[in-house]
Amino acid sequence: MIGFSRAYANGKVMLVTLLSSVCLLLPVASLAKDESTTPHWSFELKIGKFESALEDWDTYYDETPSLLKVGWSYKIFRPLEIGLSLGRMTTNGIGNLPIQGSIGGDVDFTLVPVNISLLYRFVFHENQLLVPYVGGGWTRVYYRQETGGGNKFEGSHDGHHIKSGIQILLDSFDKRSARNLQQKVGIKNTYLFLEAQSIEAKKSGIDLGGGSIFLGLLMEY
Amino acid sequence: MLIKIELAESSEEACNSMTSVYTHAFTLTLYLGMIYMVYIRSFFLSVALVMTFVSHCWAVSVPSDKYRTIQAAITALENNSILGDTINVARGEYSENLVLSGAATIVIVGDETAATFLDAKDRSKPILSISNASSNVTVRNFTFRTGNRGIVLINSSGVIIASNIFRLGNNGDAISSDAFTDANIINNTFYDNNRAVDQGGETTEITNNIFNNNNVAISPNTLTEAVSYNCFNDNNDNGVTGTQVIINRNPLFVNISLNDFHLKENSPCIDEGSGTDIIDSSTADMGAYGGDYADVFPFKVQNVAVSDVLANVGTPAISVTWSANESYRVTHTTSPGGYKLYYDSDQSGPPYKGEDASVGTLFSPIDVGSDVTSYTISGLTPPNIIPAAPTISNVIPSKSQTLDVYWGSVASATGYRLYYGVNDHNENQIDVGTVTNYSLSGLTNGVIYNIAVSALHQATYYLSVTAYGNTATSSLESGYSDERSLDMGSEKESVLSAILPGIPEAVVPFPLLPDEGCFIATAAFGYYDAPQVQLLRDFRDHYLLSHSPGRWFVKQYYIYGPKAARYIERHPEWKSAVRLVLLPLIAMAWVLFNVLWLAQVVVISGGIMFGVLYLRRKRRKLAASSHAREIFS
């Protein structure tokens, strides 16, 4: 697990994901689409596993708790977009008993990472089946710890994040539904995506960031 | 015999799935094979019996996992005939608006008339509606209690409404029927309804019923020939009374306030109906407890009381008293029923297998006969058990000022006692009941507590009384009365468990992150854990975050507070001034958290009064000085 985190930190996973994405992209045939249908906004919902950058995390909490995120993006140009995303990770674990020099008690730990990202998507055609992307930006991680006795510890760390992933255009698989979505709801493209993300949010030597793998749904409108 | 056993065991399960039916059919085939071998020696008869079993299921029960409501069971039976034709409804209260529309051959039967209550969920709708060419529907052994309409019959045939009690109140019509329905309304008791039977048709038979204290008993448009053998008393309008009628004679119900509509001895409605009683094959009684469908249970025995009478008897003994059940089947002059006394010293609830009484009838139940309302169970030998010492498995400081203590259960223990203290474990004792873990709270963090547990045993007797009818078989016995319990003898305590130490302490979360609230106070008092800062933090959590204006204030504070805190950090000369400004707030927070509410009121009122007096005094001084200036000028 520690190695996994380090791989994130080194950006190796990003590189591998990016290269894989490009390889997958190359053979994809494209179909022209009317420029007027180019979307400007996107909304995404994703769920994944969070692996903390803290070395002793496993001793106190669930090894890889779930992280749920929602995000909105505005497309400055077709491939370039700026986005805001909000996540939430809650886990329950144990704390330290300093007098007895042991671990114990009950601790609820919540992290709420807020990201502002700049994202580049390798999209060349509206009907492109696979769309790799890379991005990064500013992060603030809000935290809240609550111990069994009712003591609360709240605050935030600033940091940054990088992410990369690949989106699969679902419209290609069910064109009729895609057309209905566009006509009735205004959703122009729907993607299923897999994303790797790394956050670093360090203050006083404590990094509240970590790595995450997400599976999500993105809708462009 | 074998067939009977198999049928009794399967009931609902067998009917609820084909798989189950086949499984039971297979089992039955084996049995029948044996019967064939031994008795019948007819293969074809065996096969015929198996086919009969598979093709005919018998009942579903309510409530059950599958059918939580009666309506759910009705719907299931309507849609799946293999489930059978009978719905057995357990004793209890059911609030529903039942609908049978186009149903064929369904029997809905309550476990006990006096204890199976039907109420209207929506009072604007009938409790039960039978309509749309429903046929052969039987509804029996219920008490219809709350609603504006009890049963409404529309265009249905072969409906039997029997052995029910209708008590819907002044606004309730018990049974309403249209002109196209034929029904038999047999052996019901109608008490305190607006209209008992509002019958629009010509083919409904109304027999063996008791109409008492209703506004209208039977509406005038009912044919006289269809009404017979009914008892009318104290109705504003009897309406159609028919033939073989008893009019204006008190039916002598046992206890109307308890809904016990059994008949007392000398009731004019005994043996005056048409047909026979299922209980003893005598001429049928009128009312809900006579005829072919009557339930056979006397009403539950009331007002059971128990007391320890060792001092009077000389040996451990329990005196039991109860109120008499005045049903004529219990009090009958020539062939009375009686009472049975159940007891047990091992566990609460049936089957009450006590067997240690050494005087008179020994084993539970004790048949105490008729015409008695008290009995002393004497010569008892309460279990004299000293339980083994429990073992503490863990002492965990689960949270600040708290230790969670866990121990293993001990056989025969009826409770546990927890000992704890700082210098000696005997400083405090808590009887914690039958649990095997307990959270000791309100302790001092960082202090070593000595903890031990002992097991307790208290001999307790559990008692219940039943009544039975004059044809004394077990099936004619009432349900158990409300159970009474009595502790006998002194409580026995085990030796203590090993004494274990425990240290309560505040849990520190990982990673150790600062609480960034109370920025200004932290800056002014120098460090995050300062008690004054903690007080303000507590004040925020308890008194500000609990309402929206407080939350707004906290939000504003979080926006501007850090800037002020940074300024104070850069200019330490301001720290003393800020501390002075915060002092009243800290004092108030301290009062709120540490002083009783009455003292809080006194302190806060005192503060306000002091402020008012100070202002008035200042105003007077100003007025006096201006007056002086006027004089001297």
The residue ranking higher by pLDDT, B564 or B71, is B71
Pairwise CA distance, residues B420 & B256, whole Å: 55
Mean pLDDT of A122-134: 91
Please report the pLDDT score of residue B201 as a whole number: 63
Contact B243, B232 (CB under 8 A): no
Contact A143, A125 (CB under 8 A): no
Chain B residues lying within 8 Å of A151, measured CB to CB:
400, 506-507
B19: pLDDT strictly greater than 50:
no
Mean pLDDT of B204-210: 92
Q: Does B347 touch chain A (CB under 8 A)?
A: no
Domain co-membership, B215 together with B164: yes
Confidence of residue B616 (pLDDT cuts 50, 70, 90): confident
**By three-state DSSP, how is residue B487 classified?**
strand
Residue type, A108: D
Chain A with chain B: Cβ pairs closer than 8 A: 89
**By three-state DSSP, how is residue A186 classified?**
coil
Q: Is residue B295 part of a domain?
A: no
Mean pLDDT of B403-429: 94
Residue with tokens 């084909």: B18
CB contact under 8 A, A97 and B402: no
Highest mean pLDDT among B147-156, B542-551, B606-615: B147-156
Range with the poorest average pLDDT among B21-25, B244-248, B302-306, B564-568: B21-25
Pairwise CA distance, residues A45 & A27, whole Å: 28
Please report the pLDDT score of residue B27 as a whole number: 47
Domain co-membership, B10 together with B114: no
Q: How far is CA A103 from CA A56, A100, A153, B405, B462, in A?
A: 12, 8, 18, 17, 47
Please report the pLDDT score of residue A70 as a whole number: 94
CB contact under 8 A, B400 and A155: no
Q: Is residue B293 part of a domain?
A: no
Q: How far is CA B401 from CA B428, B437, B590, in A?
A: 16, 17, 19
Highest mean pLDDT among A31-35, B341-345, B612-616: B341-345
B534: pLDDT strictly greater than 70:
yes
- Domain holding A165: CATH number? 2.40.160.20
Please report the pLDDT score of residue B632 as a whole number: 59
CB contact under 8 A, B397 and A100: yes
Chain A residues lying within 8 Å of B397, measured CB to CB:
97, 100, 104-105
Please report the pLDDT score of residue A191 as a whole number: 95
Range with the poorest average pLDDT among B373-387, B419-433, B488-502: B373-387
- Phi and psi angles of residue B620, each rounded to the nearest 5 degrees, phi first: -60, -40
CB contact under 8 A, B399 and A106: yes
% chain B with pLDDT above 70: 82
Confidence of residue A27 (pLDDT cuts 50, 70, 90): very low
pLDDT, mean over chain B = 82
Please report the pLDDT score of residue B169 as a whole number: 92
Range with the poorest average pLDDT among B122-126, B388-392, B528-532, B619-623: B528-532
Q: Is residue B108 part of a domain?
A: yes
Q: How far is CA B8 from CA A129, B12, B57, B430, B528, in A?
A: 65, 10, 11, 49, 73
CB contact under 8 A, B400 and A150: yes
Domain co-membership, B377 together with B410: no
Please report the pLDDT score of residue A219 as a whole number: 94
Q: Is residue B585 part of a domain?
A: yes
From B413's Cα to the closest Cα of chain A, the distance in A is: 30
The secondary structure element, H or E, covering residue A189 is strand A189-200
- Write the residue in A54, A104, A154 that is nearest to B507 by C-beta: A104
- The structural domain count of chain A equals 1
- Domain holding B244: CATH number? 2.160.20.10
Contact B392, B373 (CB under 8 A): no
Highest mean pLDDT among A178-182, B83-87, B104-108, B183-187: B183-187
Domain co-membership, B345 together with B478: yes
Going by C-alpha positions, the residue among B87, B80, B6 that lies closest to residue B49 is: B6
% chain A with pLDDT above 90: 52
CB contact under 8 A, A155 and B511: no
DSSP symbols for B519-550? HHHHHHHSSTT-HHHHHHHHHIIIIITTSHHH
Domain co-membership, B368 together with B406: no
pLDDT tens for each residue of B121-146: 999 999 999 988 778 899 999 999 98
CB contact under 8 A, A60 and B398: no
Q: How far is CA B502 from CA B87, B251, B394, B427, in A?
A: 58, 71, 9, 15
Domain that holds residue B526: 519-594
Chain B residues lying within 8 Å of A148, measured CB to CB:
398-400, 402, 507
Q: Does B515 touch chain A (CB under 8 A)?
A: yes
Chain B residues lying within 8 Å of A146, measured CB to CB:
509
Domain co-membership, B76 together with B119: yes
Confidence of residue B224 (pLDDT cuts 50, 70, 90): low
Domain boundary among B263, B282, B313: B263
Domain co-membership, B253 together with B350: no
From A147's Cα to the closest Cα of chain B, the distance in A is: 6
CA atoms within 13 A on the CB side of B527: 3
Domain co-membership, B157 together with B224: yes
CB contact under 8 A, A95 and B508: yes
pLDDT tens for each residue of B270-329: 999 999 998 888 899 999 999 999 988 899 999 999 998 877 777 888 999 999 999 988
Domain co-membership, B99 together with B149: yes
Domain co-membership, B52 together with B71: no
Contact B3, B28 (CB under 8 A): yes
Query: What's the length of chain A?
Result: 221
Chain B residues lying within 8 Å of A145, measured CB to CB:
509, 513
CB contact under 8 A, A148 and B401: no
Please report the pLDDT score of residue B103 as a whole number: 78
- Write the residue in A54, A59, A148 that is nearest to B507 by C-beta: A148
From A166's Cα to the closest Cα of chain B, the distance in A is: 33
Mean pLDDT of B81-109: 88
Is omega for the bond preceding B365 within 30 degrees of 0, making it cis?
yes
Chain B residues lying within 8 Å of A149, measured CB to CB:
399-402, 506-507
The residue ranking higher by pLDDT, B428 or B569, is B428
Handedness of CA B462, B468, B472, B474 (dihedral sign): negative
Please report the pLDDT score of residue B382 as a whole number: 84
Contact B212, B191 (CB under 8 A): yes
If interface means Cβ-Cβ distance under 8 Å, which residues of chain A face chain B?
54, 56, 59-61, 93-100, 104-107, 109, 143, 145-156, 206, 208
Query: CA nearest B446 in A: which residue?
Result: A99
The residue ranking higher by pLDDT, B566 or B118, is B118
B581: pLDDT strictly greater than 90:
no
Number of H-type helices and E-type strands within chain A: 4, 10
Going by C-alpha positions, the residue among B80, B261, B238, B283 that lies closest to residue B188 is: B261
Query: CA nearest B503 in A: which residue?
Result: A100
A9: pLDDT strictly greater than 50:
no
Domain co-membership, B476 together with B590: no
Please report the pLDDT score of residue B610 as a whole number: 77
Domain co-membership, B89 together with B203: yes
Q: How far is CA A130 from CA A127, A133, A172, B600, in A?
A: 9, 10, 10, 68
**By three-state DSSP, how is residue B206 classified?**
strand
A116: pLDDT strictly greater than 90:
yes
% chain A with pLDDT above 70: 83
Chain B residues lying within 8 Å of A109, measured CB to CB:
509
Mutate to test the interface with B, among A145, A204, A208 (most CBs of B within 10 A): A145
Mutate to test the interface with B, among A99, A102, A109, A140 (most CBs of B within 10 A): A99
Q: In the 8-state DSSP scheme, what is residue B276?
A: B
Q: Does B402 touch chain A (CB under 8 A)?
A: yes
Mean pLDDT of B525-532: 67
Confidence of residue B353 (pLDDT cuts 50, 70, 90): confident
Q: Is residue B51 part of a domain?
A: yes
Mean pLDDT of B583-589: 80
Chain A residues lying within 8 Å of B396, measured CB to CB:
104
Domain that holds residue A194: 2-220
Pairwise CA distance, residues B95 & B70, whole Å: 10
Q: State ipTM.
A: 0.76
Q: Is residue B575 part of a domain?
A: yes
Chain B residues lying within 8 Å of A96, measured CB to CB:
507-510, 512
- The structural domain count of chain B equals 5
Q: Is residue B533 part of a domain?
A: yes
pLDDT tens for each residue of A31-80: 334 445 688 899 999 999 999 999 989 999 988 899 999 999 999 988 99
Q: Does B442 touch chain A (CB under 8 A)?
A: no
Please report the pLDDT score of residue B295 as a whole number: 85
pLDDT tens for each residue of B67-79: 999 999 998 888 8
Please report the pLDDT score of residue B122 as a whole number: 92
Confidence of residue B50 (pLDDT cuts 50, 70, 90): very low
Q: Is residue B296 part of a domain?
A: no
